[in-house]
């Protein structure tokens, strides 16, 4: 009976906390980058578009982090310890960038260097999210497929999503010309 109790306690310990931490670090870098980009927006249109982009994918990264924690055997409390900072990274970076610009320029108008910084952080945010999705999410999902039909379905769903987002971007670009 004592051995059974020890085995039960051992199964509750996280398997590989390193993968959970690495995913968190990658997502935090992404979130800080997008927060800085949002904080540097000065027009309503730019701010609204950036906010909607962040709003529409924020749930996805939270779910990815939570699922990674569950897969690695984290308790609810441990998982929340990873999710709360992830929720706060973008707003804190946004507010920080906003106040830096406001207090250094006095007007809220961005100098050319700040626009370059904004573009760099926006590109970095996009690149980190793409990297995280391929390394941590898609790779895990594709390797866990038990049968060929499941793998093909997942691959087709991924490609359909990519095609949908690409076509919306192309449509938006064409309609602005």
Domain map (residue ranges) of the chain: 2-122
Beta-carbon contacts of 12 under 8 Å, excluding residues fewer than 6 positions away, are 73, 75
- The answer to whether residue 170 scores a pLDDT higher than 80 is yes
Q: Which residue has the higher pLDDT, 8 or 127?
A: 127
Per the CB < 8 A criterion, the answer to whether 89 and 28 are in contact is: yes
pLDDT confidence of residue 14: 61
pLDDT confidence of residue 1: 47
Tell me the C-alpha distance between 14 and 119, whole Å. 39
pLDDT confidence of residue 92: 92
N-terminal to C-terminal alpha carbon distance within the chain: 74
Beta-carbon contacts of 134 under 8 Å, excluding residues fewer than 6 positions away, are none
Confidence label for 145 from pLDDT (cuts 50, 70 and 90): low
The answer for 108, left when phi > 0, alpha when psi is -120 to 50, beta otherwise, is left
pLDDT confidence of residue 7: 44
Q: Which residue has the higher pLDDT, 12 or 59?
A: 59
pLDDT confidence of residue 80: 92
- The answer to whether residue 56 scores a pLDDT higher than 60 is yes
pLDDT confidence of residue 157: 85
């Amino acid at each position: 009976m004592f051995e059974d109790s020890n085995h039960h306690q051992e199964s509750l310990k996280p398997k590989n906390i390193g993968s959970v931490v690495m995913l968190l670090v990658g997502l935090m870098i992404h979130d800080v980058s997008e927060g800085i980009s949002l904080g540097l927006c000065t027009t309503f249109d730019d701010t609204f578009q950036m906010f909607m982009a962040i709003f529409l994918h924020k749930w996805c990264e939270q779910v990815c982090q939570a699922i990674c924690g569950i897969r690695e055997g984290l308790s609810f409390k441990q998982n929340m310890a990873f999710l709360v900072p992830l929720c706060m990274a973008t707003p804190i970076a946004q507010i920080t960038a906003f106040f830096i610009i406001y207090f250094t320029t006095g007007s809220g108008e961005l100098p050319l260097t700040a626009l370059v910084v904004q573009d760099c952080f926006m590109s970095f945010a996009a690149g980190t999210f793409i990297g995280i999705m391929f390394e941590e999410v898609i790779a895990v999902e594709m390797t866990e497929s038990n049968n060929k039909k499941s793998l093909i379905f997942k691959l087709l769903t991924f490609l359909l999503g990519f095609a949908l987002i690409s076509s919306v971007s192309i449509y938006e670009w064409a309609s602005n010309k």
